Amino acid sequence: MPNSFHNQPVPAYTIWQAAEASLTYLHEGWSAFPGPWATTGHLRAWDFTPFTVAVAETGVLYVRNDLLGDTVTLDVTAETDIDTVARAIAVVVPRLH
């Protein structure tokens, strides 16, 4: 796995790709959209509730309900494979909805 300028691990996928992959594990009616430069992923529920998947400055991946402002951090790292990250997103999003 390559490292960033600050010697931090860089995953082989973008946050947008992880958010899109989470659609596999969410119920029908969800959609995903990329943020600028695919640095964030945006999910939209069947009732149009917006969610953001992003990385905090500390390097922690989080999911935020953009309507309510509630945020949950995920227990994953940059070394975690995309499928595990997608599953983690899909588990957290319904709890925030």
* pLDDT tens, position by position, 57-87: 888 999 999 999 999 999 998 889 999 999 9
Task: State the distance between the two ends of the chain, measured CA to CA, in whole angstroms.
Answer: 34
* Structural domain includes residue 5: no
Determine, yes or no, domain membership for 70: yes
pTM: 0.88
**85 is a domain residue:** yes
User: Is 78 inside a domain boundary?
Assistant: yes
Range of the structural domain that residue 32 is part of = 15-96
Per the structure, the count of domains in the chain is 1
Report yes or no on 40 lying in a domain: yes
pLDDT surpasses 60 at 5: no
User: Rounded to the nearest 5°, which phi and psi values hold at 85?
Assistant: -65, -45
* 6 found inside a domain: no
Cβ pair 81, 93 in contact under 8 A: no
Cα–Cα dist 15/40, whole Å: 5
Residue 31 lies in a domain: yes
> Residue range 22-38: average pLDDT?
93
